[in-house]
Every structure is written in structure tokens, then in C-alpha cells.
Amino acid sequence: MTEFSLMIHGGAGVIRAPENYDASLRHIIETGAALLDQGASALDAVTHCVALLEDDPLYNAGRGSVLNAQGIVDCDASIMDGRTLDAGAIAGVRGVKNPVLLARAVLEKSEHVFLIGEGAEIFAREHKISFEEADYFLTEHRVAQLARVKEKQSVALDHSQANDLKLGTVGAVARDRDGNLAAATSTGGLVNKQFGRVGDSAVIGAGTYADNASCAISCTGIGEHFLRTSLARTAAFFVEYQGMNAQEAADAAIRHLTQKIQGVGGLILIDRNGECGQAHSTPDMLSATAVKGEIWVGAGLTLSMWGAQAR
């Protein structure tokens, strides 16, 4: 039995009042840490943490998802098991209460890895995944946020200068007491995204990756940038083949993202030894970490501050 490690994130961007997230992040990291402490698998812990983040309207996932250009919530999510490289992903799904539970069902019960749109929704109903009516997702502030972004004729990260709401994509990575890794990510995507657009959060190797031989990673930011750089897989490569530890790989991945395409976003990463790392090219990133018996709720902390504290 080894020590467990757990990290969660609530998105990256400009976060004007990070303290508003502290209680939620703390509750969720403590819940996930208690599960791992009692021997839960990394896969169960990341599923549970992401489902809790999806239920909290503070974040851009599940209930709090941002609206697309048509004013509708379309969710993307993915999950990966580092023991086997089994993975499940869904994109462009409507009405599913917890998209991460649907991604998990794809991982466990489908012969495929990636289901989209109506096909994914039919699969969800067949596997008794819970649905909610449209008004569950349609909060007043999401409608106002879409109107503001539409006025500027742009698409936006949930956490951006362009809007005053502090909400974001979510993810979790874990290493359990058996040394197994898992990662999961869930999002409503970008505000005012084109109908049919899929970001990195649903794509294994871009927004999510887990392999016991290297690390578990969950990303957040402008999905197109993470898709073009296969960023999660790139970070895993740094651990597996270049021998980097978690923080070195997180830094190297964000350097790669910015040097190649001036990419915008961040990631959390737990390596095969249970070390934790986090990096972002945005001013802030919401996250929380449970490692070596300690809990850090790092909303708004800079990378270097976080690195110094974690050591």
C-alpha cells in the first residue's frame, strides 16, 4: 500500500475572486481524499470528484455549463484508467446530469471509446444514466454571459477578461493506494461556441490522459490549442521517456504549448510516484491538491508559489 495523491481543478483564466471557490474546492478534495484513504480506486475517486464539480453551478461543467451559440448546453467529458489504458469519452451531449458518469459508462460498457451527440444520449438512456430538463442547466447568469460574448462577436473561456463570471471547466487526477492512476475532465466548452464544436476535454490525449507507466493529466483552457498540441499525451511523454517528475513535466508541457502556438490554459498532473504538478499560461487556475496527508486549496496561486508550498 502506498500513499495516495489527488488533484482537482475548476478551470484556468482570469479569476477575479478565487476565494469564492475555496469552500467548494475544499469540500470536494476532502471528499475525494477520504475515499482514497479508505482504499477507493483512482478511477472511482476521479469519477466522484468530477461528478461533484459538475453538480456545483459554480463551474463550467454539468449543471453550470456555458451556453453554445444557439443558447443550448452541449457537454463534453472523458475519463481514462491508467491500469489498462481503457478510456471513455462523450461529446455534444444534451440533458445528461453528470457527463462524467456517461463517459465512465462508455469506458466500462461500450466496445468503443468515443460517442457523440444523439448516439451518446441513446447509449446513456440504455444504461440508466440520469437526465435533467433544459432549465436545470439554463441559469440566469449563463444566459446573460452568452449575450455579452455574442455582443462582442467572439467565443470565450468561461474564466476570461471578457466576462465577469468566475466559472470553469473541471477535472481530477488521482493515484490510489495500489499505485494506479486515473484522470477525468468535463466541460460545457467555450461560451458561444459553434453548434457541433468539440474541445479538448472530450479527447483522450488532448485534455485527458492516464497511464500507470507515466502519469495522469487533466487540462483546461482553449480546447483548440490543446487539440493541436496533443498536450496531455505530450506531458505523459515527458514523464515516461524523458524521466521528468510531475512539476517538471507540467512546466515543460505548458512551455511546449506557449512556444509552439502561444496556447492558453493549464493542467494538473500526478506522476507514477504520486508527485503532484500544476502549470498554466493563464494568470490563474483554480485547483486543490491532497498529497502526503496535506490539503492545498490553490485558487489563484501562481505556479511558483504553488511549487514552493508543495515542496
Nearest approach, Cβ of residue 28 and ligand ASP (Å): 17
Nearest approach, Cβ of residue 101 and ligand ASP (Å): 19
List residues near ligand ASP by CB under 6 A.
11, 60, 157-158, 168-169, 187, 189-190, 199-201, 220-223
Closer to ligand ASP by Cβ: residue 59 or 296: 59
Closer to ligand ASP by Cβ: residue 15 or 52: 15
Q: Which residue has the cell 500513499?
A: 3
The residues carrying an active-site annotation are 169
Nearest approach, Cβ of residue 157 and ligand ASP (Å): 5
Closer to ligand ASP by Cβ: residue 50 or 244: 50
Nearest approach, Cβ of residue 40 and ligand ASP (Å): 26
Q: Which residue has the cell 481524499?
A: 33
Closer to ligand ASP by Cβ: residue 263 or 277: 263
